[in-house]
Amino acid sequence: MRELFTRGLRGEPQKETEIGPVPESWQIKAIGHVFEIVQGLSLKGNLSGGSDGVPFLRTSNVYWGRIDLKNVSRMHVAPELIGDRWLRQGDLLVCEGGEIGRAAVWESKEPGYTYQNHLHRLRPLIGGSIEPKFAAAWLEVGFCHRKVYEGAGNKTTIPNLSRARLAELPMPVPAIDEQRDIVAILDAIDRKIELHRKKRTVLEELFKALLHKLMTGEIRVDELDLSALQAPAEPLSPAAEPAV
């Protein structure tokens, strides 16, 4: 990610900016100049204790680059009071509290979800040229890797990232086709990571099952076929082969 957001994909010379080195053709714009920013709804005692009510996202649902829907809360609120705070596919959600700046794109087409006031919803301005997933990836670089946004939060009892502060943060804006190419590369890497996570989970479960059988005597150590775990012998190079 650091490489992509420092050198880009077009082999351009770099220039120094307030957020560090970027390719020469990239613009630097305030987030509020490319996104409409709307803060979510306050609970105000409207939290539902059951399965009724409107599902809404909290900061605990938003991780870097992904949204977890395993535990979704609900609130009692009249749909007409939600106004324009219904989530749409492609909306970028940014944490106002907790780990400030943590961001992910809402990719679901399912309607009827909203979000609480500790999240900001960013939606590209009409006529703008910004890819929300590119912006989400940049926020991770800016907050976690380059540390260019240190001190961006308001220092109250609990640090938070106000709408005004978020709107002022500078971000790189390359041409839209380069943004999409960078997103495609990062998506491919994420898919590989997820594949390896799944493989590791399967191997861990296999290990637990095998360990249980060993400990209970269902199988004995001398019955195990460990040949697959042994490294193959290195072939001799032609120069090292013994003479016949």
Given this model, what pLDDT does residue 117 score?
A: 92
Domains contained in the chain, CATH given:
2-173 (3.90.220.20)
Q: Give the chain as a DSSP string.
A: -HHHHHH-SS-PPEEEETTEEEETT-EEEEGGGTEEEEE-B--TT-B-SSS-SEEEE-GGGEETTEE--SS-EEE---HHHHTT-S--TTEEEEESSSSTT-EEEE-------EEBTTEEEEEEPTT----HHHHHHHHHIIIIIS-TTTT-SB-SSS-B--HHHHHH-EEEE--HHHHHHHHHHHHHHHHHHHHHHHHHHHHHHHHHHHHHHHHTTSS-GGG---GGGSPPPPPPPGGGSPP-
- Look at 214 and 48; give whichever has higher pLDDT: 214
Q: What is the mean pLDDT of the segment spanning 41-46?
A: 80
At position 8, the amino acid (one-letter code) is G
pLDDT tens track for 187-222: 999 889 889 999 999 999 988 988 888 888 887 777
- Report for 45-59, 109-123, 145-159, 214-228: range of highest mean pLDDT: 109-123
Beta bridge partners of 20: 17
pLDDT at residue number 240: 47
Over the stretch 62-80, which tens digit does the pLDDT of each residue have? 999 999 999 999 998 888 8
pLDDT band at 98 (very low <50, low <70, confident <90, very high): confident
Model's pTM, two decimal places? Answer: 0.80
- How does pLDDT run across 125-139, given as a tens digit for each residue? 988 799 999 999 999
